[in-house]
Structure 1
Amino acid sequence: MNTINPGQIVYLECLDKRLYAEAIQVAGSVRLWCRPLMLVSNLPHDSHQQQAVIADAAIDPETCSLELFDLKTAPDLVWPLESFKMAFDTDFFALLFHLRIMDNSEAEGPAKQQFQHFLHSCWQHGTKGYDTPQAPRKLISIR
């Protein structure tokens, strides 16, 4: 894992979804405090194809099969640092720009639901090896 600095864009993947977030601070050297920005859904399950699909969507977001959810009102997130990867900023910013110019305020409810579902899926699929006596046994959501 590369060193993550505040302001960098990172992502977290689970199944066919990818959460993009802005790094705020590394907390205690094992967790990342970040601000969720966008959730991308309907990615191929093959991780090698995911970046290619996102790059294609960044070129022509109108015709892509991906679902984009703007998480500008989502709460900050603290998550295990080892789960994050560095994002390709050009693809991310093109998709976020497209999403923000659409300014669909009616999509805020579905975006929050998708975000919560994503977090629960990640927690269920990604806590193996993170199960220590001090680790929480369930995911707690702050709204």
Structure 2
Amino acid sequence: MTLLPRLPARCGSVENIPFRSRPLPAPVEVGSTPPSPRPILALPGSQATLYVELIQVSRHSLEAGSDTPPLLWVRPLLLRQGSQVFNLRATSDLLWPAAGFVPAYAEEVLPLLEQARDPAPHELPARQQLQAFLRQVWRG
């Protein structure tokens, strides 16, 4: 298991993001090490679901009176397309609007982590699969 660095103290608060449906679980802090895990979020699309790790919330969009929708800095983990699950951990981080993201829980993510695989040579590389998914979600 890879331990990730702690977030800077001035990050935006996850509690202020208007997620659809269920609330995020309360963060659990146990001492100073190891760092607490970051929330896992899902972005459902019409034919696939993207699972990401939340890195940071844009502070500018959380300021009082701001009409800018919140932006999230997220790290792609998995892309589930039907019964196939692709490993996206080698792709780049994203800055994406919070609208559409829902919290993902261990019961749904842990089995997917076991099933995740890198794309086969005859399939699109992970980066291109992620780009195609994001284009589809962006268009609505």
Question: What is the TM-score normalised by the length of structure 2?
Answer: 0.61
Whole-angstrom CA distance in 2 between matches of 1:69 and 1:3: 24
Deviations 1:71-91 (A, max 9, x none): 011100111112210002222
Query: Percent of counterpart pairs with the same letter?
Result: 35
Change (3 A) 1:7 1:15: same
Question: Does the Cα contact within 8 Å between 1:23 and 1:33 map onto a contact in 2?
Answer: yes
The answer to whether residue 84 in structure 2 is matched with residue 67 in structure 1 is yes
Question: Does the Cα contact within 8 Å between 1:34 and 1:78 map onto a contact in 2?
Answer: yes
Match of 2:139 in 1: 124
| Displacement after TM superposition at 1:67 (Å) | 1.4
- The 5-angstrom pairing of residues 128-139 of structure 1 reads none
Deviations 1:17-60 (A, max 9, x none): 10000000111330111100000012xxxxxxxxxxxxxxxxxx
Whole-angstrom CA distance in 2 between matches of 1:12 and 1:114: 14
Question: Does the Cα contact within 8 Å between 1:20 and 1:36 map onto a contact in 2?
Answer: yes
Whole-angstrom CA distance in 1 between matches of 2:109 and 2:85: 11
Mean Cα deviation higher: 33-42 or 1-10: 1-10
Question: Does the Cα contact within 8 Å between 2:51 and 2:77 map onto a contact in 1?
Answer: yes
Change (3 A) 1:31 1:105: same
User: Gaps (5+ residues) in structure 2?
Assistant: 1-18, 28-36, 63-69
| Displacement after TM superposition at 1:13 (Å) | 1.0
More helix as a share of residues: 1
The answer to whether residue 47 in structure 2 is matched with residue 16 in structure 1 is yes
Question: Does the Cα contact within 8 Å between 1:70 and 1:108 map onto a contact in 2?
Answer: no
Deviations 1:85-136 (A, max 9, x none): 000222211211232xx567758853222111001111111xxxxxxxxxxx
Question: What is the TM-score normalised by the length of structure 1?
Answer: 0.60
Match of 1:34 in 2: 74
1:40 counterpart SS class: strand
Deviant stretches of 4+, over 6 Å: none
1:34 counterpart SS class: strand
Whole-angstrom CA distance in 2 between matches of 1:117 and 1:103: 16
